Chains A and B, each alone.
Chain A
């Protein structure tokens, strides 16, 4: 490199340093903001695993199974009882309710955008949607169904018999095929374009200034993006966020690993404004209170995530963060309750 170019580049670097220093309180430079926004680009397609590829008929079968109360032991509860499309695929309750009207220990998580998820359940015990799908069906505290009984029930319904034959030719109705159909339906549950996405795509008017400040805050001072990263706003990882309860979360499954004690999976934040109450135990009522928790209300203990520390947020910062979170709400395609096959009809 010529000496002139070296000096020129050195000079430009110095200007850059000065510019950065001047900008310390004025938010990120446009290049920094562009880089930040780049992290949130939506993918173009939904991934389906090669072991369980997409087909319309499989989605249709999974859709029916998802909404069918006969999947529970008492025939009173379907997957959609806790994962209700009208409540952003949750149930709006602090913690779930099982088929005997029994209160469960953790909040029903949304099933939005799980095609991209890795470990499923709050504690990550299921490695895929296929592994997860039949868990709650057979769980005594939840849908309390026996798998042999469910296979008989479905096999006695002509509409299901035919549908399984078409979707899984040569395979019996089994826990595996049920799980594959439900998992495929679930992968199609994707939150749509939100105002935030339109802003990411370049529409400056899509969100207001408070939300734009909140986005920067989310990615900088408030450190939210350390865990709520990417377009789904989750790292699919496990963290103790310092909630004062006794539930060890993933720590129950993985003994001896300190950061996993009291650790739960980071939920994505799409449509979060419609998903109160918050946290794995539903103990926090509003988004504002969630932000106050992360600001300074968390419990200090050895397992607390290294990403959590006192933030010193101002009231305006809190308001800006909430304004940003509200831009993640999309108007999604309506998913109808399907017509379920009965003993007499197809």
Chain B
């Protein structure tokens, strides 16, 4: 599924979910030790939620476009991490436990 289709799918799912706290945001899922989708474009100032749908813990680590690193700590199965996208450019996200899990977010 392309990031665009994914965004549409998430948006459609979102129609039935009243009161989402991140109305402008997208959702990326961690499942089978991959991020899905693994690249997407987000609006500046939006939030991105990363859900752990796996049966094992993950550790979201974010590198902002200015090189700043942020460790979001551990996400147990069922937990999520919310990333505030406050800078223009490319955010790189990895799992600190499973570094092969990579996600690229273009913030426009």
Q: Could you list which residues of chain A lie within 8 angstroms of chain B, going by C-beta atoms?
A: 118-119, 124, 235-239, 250, 254, 256-260, 263, 306-307
Q: List 29 A-B contacts (CB under 8 A).
A: A118-B99, A118-B100, A119-B99, A124-B99, A235-B98, A236-B99, A237-B33, A237-B97, A237-B98, A237-B100, A238-B96, A238-B97, A238-B98, A250-B96, A254-B71, A256-B71, A256-B74, A257-B59, A257-B71, A257-B73, A257-B74, A257-B97, A258-B57, A258-B74, A259-B57, A306-B55, A306-B56, A306-B57, A307-B56
Query: Min CB distance, A310 to chain B, in Å?
Result: 18
Q: Could you list which residues of chain B lie within 8 angstroms of chain A, going by C-beta atoms?
A: 33, 55-57, 59, 71, 73-74, 96-100
In the complex, what residues of A have CB within 8 A of residue B71's CB?
Answer: 254, 256-257
A257 to B60 Cα, complex, angstroms: 10
Query: Min CB distance, B35 to chain A, in Å?
Result: 14
Query: Min CB distance, A318 to chain B, in Å?
Result: 25
A124 to B94 Cα, complex, angstroms: 13
Is the beta-carbon distance between A259 and B59 smaller than 8 angstroms?
yes
A168 to B55 Cα, complex, angstroms: 47
Query: Min CB distance, A38 to chain B, in Å?
Result: 15
Lowest 8 CB-CB distances: which A-B pairs, in order? A237-B98, A119-B99, A118-B99, A257-B59, A257-B74, A306-B56, A259-B57, A236-B100
A238 to B95 Cα, complex, angstroms: 10
A218 to B57 Cα, complex, angstroms: 22
Is the beta-carbon distance between B96 and A260 smaller than 8 angstroms?
yes
Additional A-B contacts beyond A235-B98, A254-B59, A307-B56 (7; CB < 8 A): A124-B99, A237-B99, A239-B97, A254-B96, A257-B73, A257-B96, A306-B57
